[in-house]
Homo-oligomer: A and B are copies of this chain.
Amino acid sequence: MAVFTLQQIAERIGGQVFGPTDMKITGTAEIEKASDGEITFLANPRYKHHLKTTRASAIIVDDKIGEVPEIPYIKVADAYFAFLQTVVLFHPPRELLAPGIHPTAVIHETAVLEEGVRVGAHVFIGKNVRIGRNTRIFPNCVILDNVSIGEECILYPSVSVREDCQIGHRVILHNGVVVGSDGFGFAPHEGRYVKIPQVGRVIIEDDVEIGANATIDRATLGETVIKTGAKLDNLVHIAHNVVVGEHTVIAAQTGISGSTRIGKRVMMGGQVGTVGHITIGDGAQIGAQSGVSKSVPPGEVVFGYPARPIMKTKRIEAALNQLPDLLKRVRQLEQIIETLQNSRKDQ
Interface residues of A (CB under 8 A from B): 28-30, 78, 80-81, 84, 87-88, 91, 94, 96, 102, 104, 106, 120-122, 124, 126, 138-140, 142, 144-145, 156-158, 160, 162-163, 172, 174-176, 178, 181-182, 184, 186-187, 189, 191-197, 199, 207, 209, 211-213, 215, 217, 221, 229, 231, 233-235, 237, 239, 247, 249, 251-253, 255, 257, 270-271, 273, 275, 288-289, 291, 305-306, 308, 312, 315-324, 326-327, 329-330, 333-334, 336-337, 340-341, 343-344
Q: Flag if B176 contacts A213 (CB, 8 Å).
A: yes
Identical chains bound together, number: 3
Q: Are B234 and A234 in contact (CB under 8 A)?
A: no
The smallest C-beta distance from A108 to any residue of chain B, in angstroms, reads: 9
Contact B324 A326 (CB under 8 A): no
B81 adjacent to A252 (CB under 8 Å): no
Given A144-B96, A158-B158, A271-B271, A84–B249 Cβ distance below 8 Å?
Answer: no
Once the chains are docked, how many angstroms separate the CA of A162 from the CA of B211? 13
Whether the pair B186, A181 counts as a contact (CB closer than 8 A) is no
- Min Cβ gap A282→B in Å is 13
Are B182 and A174 within 8 A (Cβ)?
yes
- Name A247's contact: one of B94, B178, B191 (CB within 8 Å): B191
Which residues of B sit under 8 angstroms from A341, Cβ to Cβ? Answer: 336, 340
What's the minimum C-beta distance from A294 to chain B, rounded to whole angstroms? 13
- With A194-B81, A330-B330 known as contacts, the answer to whether A157 contacts B144 (CB < 8 A) is yes
Q: Counting chain B CB atoms within 10 Å of each CB, which of A192, A289, A319 scores highest? A: A289
Q: Are A211 and B181 in contact (CB under 8 A)?
A: yes
A193 touches B247 (CB 8 A): yes
A239–B106 Cα gap in the complex (Å)? 34
Please state if A102 and B106 are interface contacts (CB–CB under 8 Å): yes
Q: Within 8 Å CB of A181, what residues of B?
A: 156, 174-175, 211-212, 234
Given contacts A211-B184, A215-B212, A330-B333, whether A140 and B162 have CB atoms under 8 Å apart is no
**Alpha-carbon distance between A330 and B337 when the two chains are bound, in angstroms:** 12
CA distance A321 to B320 in the complex (A): 11
Of B28, B247, B255, B327, which one neighbours A270 at CB under 8 angstroms?
A: B255
- A275–B195 Cα gap in the complex (Å)? 30
A140-B160, A176-B176 known, 13 other contacts, Cβ within 8 Å: A81-B194, A124-B139, A140-B158, A160-B176, A176-B178, A176-B213, A193-B231, A237-B252, A239-B252, A306-B317, A316-B321, A319-B324, A330-B333
Measured CB to CB, the closest approach of chain B to A307, in angstroms, equals 11
Chosen A-B contacts, 22 in total, with CB atoms closer than 8 Å, are A94-B145, A102-B106, A124-B140, A140-B160, A142-B158, A158-B158, A175-B181, A182-B211, A184-B233, A192-B207, A192-B229, A211-B215, A212-B215, A213-B213, A215-B234, A306-B317, A312-B321, A315-B324, A316-B323, A326-B326, A326-B327, A336-B337
Q: A253 — which chain B residues lie within 8 A by C-beta? A: 237, 253, 255, 273
